[in-house]
Structure 1
Amino acid sequence: MDLKRQQIESFTVSGVQVRTTNAAEHKPDTAKIGPMWGDFFSKGLAEEMPGKQTGSPVYGVYSAYQSDASGEFDVTAGVAVNKLAENFKSIVIEAGDYLVFEAQGPMPEAVISTWGKVWSFFEANPQIQRRFATDFEAYTGPEAVSIYIGVR
């Protein structure tokens, strides 16, 4: 796996948000992330978000971690904005170092598979510690995603 470490400056994403756990997402009757994305796209928010930065990709942001990958966390589907969008959830991506995991292929399978690689990577490399502050997916094409994981 070809990983890169990248310094990210802080930026704000606005969109729709749910609170969930990884365990809940493994069961169709309790999964919230898929329906949230359906809501995001059915409302045309990728194109119509007030204050959207020109050329912003679509982001999936993971934040407000209760603990680690086993606890509750928030997921926001949105776009980068120049100003906070009223009536939408906004999250500030923390500045700092991120490991970038890239994937190509049909969605959502490519992103789900890549999250598996993220978890395996950190299990195999305990010396590299996740921050569990903000992590995010940047959808750079119809079949391209980069997952940014904040590290210490």
Structure 2
Amino acid sequence: MNIVQVSEKTIVGLGARTNNKDEMNPGTGKIGPLVHQFDANVQVDYRGGARVYSVYHEYESDVSGNYSVLVGADKVDSSSVELIEVKIQEGNYLVFTAQGQVPHIVIETWGKIWTYFASPNCSHTRAYLTDFEFYKSQNEIEIYIGIK
């Protein structure tokens, strides 16, 4: 993991309000169905260099509180549903990377992130403004965690 400075970026897509407790249960999780809805209804301009993101924002408190999530892209060709936008906030982010089978690597990497920030030896503090997953390819992700 390393620290990078990220510029503000607008992502458009589909959103929901959820929390980590609900996401641990396939019957109550909203992110998986949101990804399927996005994939079925939105055409992303991959040939034009667009990439897919999941943006976490509007945190109620911390890892245990409610938050909003947007599954989207930085450039969309077309959509059969109404899209919303969210801005990834400018700032410092700690980047966690993984390669392998999605969604397994996403779930596994979030587990590592929660463990890292829960450690008494952690030298960073989460900002809880915006965090995001960047899908570099079908089997490679980067998860950016905003830090103070």
Shift of 1:80: 1.2
Shift of 1:39: 0.3
4+ residue stretches of structure 1 with deviation over 4 A? none
State the partner residue of 1:58. Answer: 52
TM-score by length of 1: 0.88
Structure 2 residue runs without a partner (length 5+): none
Report Cα offsets for 1:127-149 as digits up to 9, x if no partner: 41100000000001010000000
Structure 1 residue runs without a partner (length 5+): 49-53
Say which of 19, 22, 40 aligns to 1:21.
Answer: 19
Q: Look up the equivalent residue of 2:95 and give its one-letter code.
A: V
State the partner residue of 2:126. Answer: 130
Higher strand proportion, which one? 2
Say which of 83, 88, 96 aligns to 2:83.
Answer: 88
Say which of 132, 135, 142 aligns to 1:146.
Answer: 142
TM-score by length of 2: 0.91
Q: Distance in 2 between matches of 1:126 and 1:66?
A: 22
State the partner residue of 2:101. Answer: 106
**How many residues of Structure 1 are paired with residues of Structure 2 in the alignment?**
144
State the partner residue of 2:70. Answer: 76
Q: Distance in 2 between matches of 1:81 and 1:7?
A: 21
Q: Look up the equivalent residue of 1:116 and give its one-letter code.
A: G
Q: Distance in 2 between matches of 1:64 and 1:74?
A: 6
The alpha-carbon distance between structure 1 residues 77 and 45, as it changes in their structure 2 partners (threshold 3 A), is farther
Aligned-residue CA RMSD (Å): 2.0
Aligned sequence identity (%): 38
Q: Distance in 1 between matches of 2:43 and 2:68?
A: 18
Q: Secondary structure at the match of 2:62?
A: coil
State the partner residue of 1:42. Answer: 40
